[in-house]
Each structure stands twice: as structure tokens, then as C-alpha cells.
Structure 1
Amino acid sequence: MMIMIACGLLLAAGLAAVLFGGGERFQLPSSANDGGALLPNVARQVLWWANVLLVGGGVAGVCMAGADGRLVMRLLAATSPEDDNRFTENGSVIGEISVGGTGFLLVQGIAIGMLTALLYGMLRRWLPAGRAGGAVYGLLLLLALSTVLDPLRPDNRDFQIVGPGWLSVAVFSALAIGHGLLLALATGWLSRRVPFIGAVKDLRWYIPLALFLVLLGPAGIIVVAGIIAAIGVLWAAAAVRRRLQSGEADIPAAADQRLAMAAGQPGHPAETGMGAAPSPTASQSQPSGARDRQVMLAGRIVLLGLGIACLPGFIASMASILAAGG
């Protein structure tokens, strides 16, 4: 009973955050480049992204995939009392609630939340802001993944045991959309508050990430290795980009010097206006804004196409579950 109460409280906290959290929008912080060494600046940015996404995903995973998943499984078992003590596909006993099994579900929820958060970080730009973006993302997860992954995988024989099928489809679909909503809310809230690491006091914002990584056990080591690898790759890319930009800046400077010398003003092109770099105008910056809008539109069209492409398979899978579960 205490386990179910604890899971209920976690779910209630997640739902309360979704309903009353304000739907804060994701906000990128100011640049971490403080003029110092390149590697620390890159490391601060990578750690900020890792903290915001992984902690936000972990929170959503605990409250939805973990706690809510436990409650949904108990609900489905309660609707099929004649199947108590039978084994599920993964070897669990229907109707049995254990601390170890619940702990496994919560840790699994953290892992699922973190993985979906990383995907959310890549797609966030093309999703609507706030709650709408979270709902759309949850719907995309439902359409794209439910046909191949648990808990709504249609060939899962558990649907032949517990039911009814319509209840399974309804509650797990609501769970997926709720996960997207809470994920968007948590990452948005964190993005507005978590600072780049610039002082010892900033480290307190990164304690939850460390705790989640510890809970993941061996999988947490893989996450840490991924963060270190990301720092290395992005640092190398930033170093190459800085070198290329430095080389490009030297070329017009040399050309300006030659023009100034030809005009009889050696070494002072800025004073005569000869060779001075033209200031950017609104007409020059407009193409960049137009490209951004085109990229935004193209990305949203791709996401819409993905959802439409997955819809027939989703409908067929849900129909199969409904038939199996009665």
C-alpha cells in the first residue's frame, strides 16, 4: 500500500506541475564564452545542456513512465482479478507489488525520460512553445514508438491476459502525452534557472544530475562517457571554426592595407574610409531571417509528415490490442 501511495504522490506532483506550472518556454542562456580558454567554455555549455535535458527528462520519467506506469499496471491487474499470480511476458507476477520491482520501474522511467529528453532537445526548435509543444512531442512519441516498444507493442502477449484492451490503449496513450507535457515543462523551467558553471555556488544546480546518474548505475557511466565525448567533439569543432574564422579575417585586413597604401595613406585605411568594411544593413540581415523561417517551416513539415506516416501503423496496432484485450 505504501508503494502505491508513493507512486500516487509522484504522479499527482507531475500532474500538478503540468496543470499549474505556467507552461514556461525553453530559454537559451547567454553565451558561456567569457573570453577565456575555449575548452572550459565548451564544457560549461555541454554540461548546461546535459543538466537541463537529462534532469528534466529524469523528472518526467520518474513521475510518468515510472510511477504512472506502476499505477497503470496495478489498474489493469485489478480489472483482471482472475489472472492474479500469472506471469507476464517479462516474468513479473500479475498482482504482485514489490519494492524491487517498483524500484526497477522508476529507474527504467529515468532512463526512458533521459533518452526522450535528448530527442526533445534535437526537435525542440520545430515544436510549438510551452504546453502545446509538450503535447505534440508526446503525441509524436506515441505514434512513432508505440508500435515497436512496450508498453503498447501489439505483439505483447500480456494484452491477452490483462484488459480490457480499450483501457490499456487509453491509459498508456494518456501517459505518453503526459510525459511529453511534463518533459517540456521541466526542461523549460530548468532552462530559465540553471546557470553556466562560473562559481562554486552554481554547482548546486547540477546535484540532481549527479543523483540521477548514480541511480542509473552502470548506465550512468555510459552517460558520463557520452558527455565527455560531446565536450571533446564540440571543442575540436569550435577550435577548427575559430581557426577558419581567424584566417578569413586576415584576408580582408590585408586587402584593406594594400588599398590604403595605394591611396597614399599607409596604415590608416579607417581614417580615409578606403577599404573600411561596410556595416551590415537591414537588407543584408534579412536573408538570414528568411532562411531561419524556411528552416522552421521545413522542420515542422517533416514532423507533420512523420506523424502522418506513422498514423496507419498506430491505428492497426491499437486495433490489434483492442481485439486481444477484449
Structure 2
Amino acid sequence: MIVLVVCGVLALAGVVGVAVWGGIDLRSPVVGASDPTAQHAASVSPIPVPSARVSTGLRRFVWWATVVTVTGTVSGLLMAGAGGRLVMRVLALTSPSAAGRITEAQARVGDITVNGTFAFLVFGALPGAFLSAILYVVIHRWLPRGRLGGVIFGLLLLALFATTLDPLRADNIDFDIVGPGWLAVLLFSVVVILHGMLVAAFAGWYSGRLPPPTRRTWPAYSPLLAAVVYLPLGLVLLAAAILTLIGCALIPAAPRWWTSDALIRAGRIALLALGVVSIPGVIGSVASIMTR
């Protein structure tokens, strides 16, 4: 019971976060102005020297990596984790004949334990939350501004990933055990969309409060220590850091097309195309789950 109460409080906090921060757009970092190396390089040459480029690039990377880490952790705890756990409990209650049966994840239907919830969080909720945070950071320029951007992002997660990975994968045997199917589709869809909205809302709020990385502000970047504890996140961030280092050393300046209106339009068209292409798969998965 305590686990369910905690999950309920966390999920409610996530909904409140969406309501309060949903209209805040993600801001890009202002890095380099306070960097002595960059200032000296700018006074000597309009094209930054490699050392200044690397320093500024790594500072930007650390800023974005912190936004991703904190956003993924918060959304994973509040919505993907707590919200998903509550849905599982509801489906167990609506399927009394399934009590005691073993799910695809080797859990027992009806048992809500601390260990089981922790395992679901670490191996199920957090990986998806971190990936969704990374995806949002990459494509946020292509989404509408304000609350609509969060809704669209949630719908994209539902269309592109929920029915191919989890939680609405058609070949998941759990839907043969618990139900009804229409309720499972409804509840999990709401959680996925709210998760996308929370990622957008929290990332926007947090990006406005995370200071640029300097000698005085390094304590604000302590959340990156989570990458040391959570190995999958650490490996992803390490690979991204290496690519950032190589790119900053080889490329004199970011190409203008990266922030151009043409790329934004192309990105929006690509997202629309992906959404349209995914519709048959979504319909097939939903139909499969609801007819069991």
C-alpha cells in the first residue's frame, strides 16, 4: 500500500508539473562569454582557435547533458515509473482471475513490492525516460512552441515507440493475462502522452534555471554523477562527449544550416511523415490488444 501511495503522489506531482511548466520553452545555453580562453581567442581572431572551440563546445555539452540527465530522471520517476506502476495495479485489480500469474517481466500479477517497483524503474522506466529526453533535446526546434509542443511530443512517443517497444507492444503476453484491452490502451496512452508533456515542460523550466558552466557554478552540474551510477546513461553521454570533442576540434564553427528555418521546416515535415507512416502499426497494435 505504501508503494502505491508514493507512486500516486509522484504521478500527481508530474501532472502538476505539466500544468505549471507546460508553457515554458526549452532555452539554449549562453556559453563562452565568461570563458577567458574564448575571450582571448575572439580578440585575436574572428575564427576561434581549436582550444577555445573545444572549451566552449564541451561547456555546451555539459549543459545539455545535465538538462537531459535531470529531465530524464524526473520524468522517469514521476510519470514513466510511478504512472506506469499505477496502471499495472489498476489492470491487476480489473483482472482478479490473473492474480498470481507470471508476467513477461517475470513478475507476479497482484504483487506490488519495493523490489519489483525498483526493478521496473531501473530497467523499464528510466531507460525510456532518458531516451525521450535526448530525443526532445534533438528535435525540440521542430515542435510547436508552448504547451502544444509537449502534446505533439507525447503523441510522437505514442505513435513511434509505445507500440513498437513498450508499453503497447502487440506481442506483449501481459495483455493475454490482464485487461480489459481497451482500458490498458487508454491508461497506457495517457501515461505516454503525459510523459512526453512532462519531458517538454520540465526541460523548459530547468533550462531557464541551469546557469552556464563556470568555476563558480560547477555544483549545479552534480546531477551528472548519475551517469557514473547508471551505466547505460554514462555510456551514452561518454560517446556524445567524444563526438563533441572531435567535432569541436575539426569544425571551425557550427554550420549556419543547423539553426536555419529551412532545417526547421524539413524537420517538421520529417516528423509529420514519420507520424503518418506509423499510423498503420499503431492501429494494428491497438486492435490486437483490444480484441484479446
SS at 2:174 equivalent:
helix
Give how far 1:203 is off. Answer: 2.2
Query: What corresponds to 2:71 in structure 1?
Result: 56
Q: Which amino acid aligns with 1:188?
A: G
The correspondence of residues 243-262 of structure 1 with structure 2, limited to 5 A, is: none
The correspondence of residues 105-116 of structure 1 with structure 2, limited to 5 A, is: 105-107=120-122, 108-116=124-132
Query: What corresponds to 2:247 in structure 1?
Result: 234
Q: Which amino acid aligns with 2:137?
A: G
Partners in 2 of 1:7 and 1:303 — Cα distance? 33
Give how far 1:147 is off. Answer: 2.5
Q: Which amino acid aligns with 1:134?
A: G
1:315 to 2:283 alignment: yes
Using a 3 Å threshold, how does the CA distance of structure 1 residues 58 and 230 change in structure 2: closer, same or farther? farther
Q: What is the aligned residue count?
A: 274
The correspondence of residues 1-326 of structure 1 with structure 2, limited to 5 A, is: 1-21=1-21, 23-32=23-32, 34-36=35-37, 37-38=51-52, 39-107=54-122, 108-200=124-216, 202-210=217-225, 212-216=226-230, 218-238=231-251, 241=252, 292-324=260-292
Percentage of pairs with the same residue: 41
Partners in 2 of 1:106 and 1:178 — Cα distance? 17
**16-25 vs 2-11, greater mean Cα deviation:** 16-25
Partners in 1 of 2:200 and 2:240 — Cα distance? 21
Using a 3 Å threshold, how does the CA distance of structure 1 residues 153 and 187 change in structure 2: closer, same or farther? same
Partners in 1 of 2:22 and 2:87 — Cα distance? 27
Partners in 2 of 1:156 and 1:73 — Cα distance? 14
Query: What corresponds to 2:43 in structure 1?
Result: none
| Contact 2:150/2:197 (8 A) holds in 1 | yes
Give how far 1:8 is off. Answer: 0.9
Give how far 1:114 is off. Answer: 1.0
TM-score with structure 1 setting the length: 0.78
Give how far 1:164 is off. Answer: 0.4
**Structure with the greater alpha carbon radius of gyration:** 1
Using a 3 Å threshold, how does the CA distance of structure 1 residues 215 and 67 change in structure 2: closer, same or farther? farther
Alignment gaps of 5+ in structure 2: 38-50
Partners in 2 of 1:302 and 1:231 — Cα distance? 25
Partners in 1 of 2:62 and 2:291 — Cα distance? 47
Give how far 1:224 is off. Answer: 4.5
SS at 1:300 equivalent:
helix
Partners in 1 of 2:263 and 2:232 — Cα distance? 35
SS at 2:260 equivalent:
helix
SS at 2:291 equivalent:
helix
Alignment gaps of 5+ in structure 1: 246-287
